[in-house]
Amino acid sequence: MTTRHGHEITIERGTEHVRVVRDGTVLADSTRPLVLRETGCPVRYYLPAEDVRTDLLTASDTTTYCPFKGTASYWSLPDAADLVWAYPEPKEEVAELKGHLCFYDAEVSA
* β-pair partners for 36: 11, 44
Per-residue pLDDT of the chain (110 residues; tens, 9 = 90+): 666 668 899 999 999 999 999 989 999 999 999 999 999 999 999 999 999 999 999 999 999 999 999 999 999 999 999 999 999 999 999 999 999 999 987 766 64
Taking the domains of the chain in order of start, what are their residue ranges? 2-109
List of residues 6+ apart from 95 with CB closer than 8 A:
none
* DSSP helix/strand/coil, 51: helix
Q: In the CATH scheme, what is the code of domain 2-109? A: 2.170.150.40
Flag whether the pTM goes above 0.85: yes
Q: How many CA atoms lie within 13 A of 77 on its CB side?
A: 15
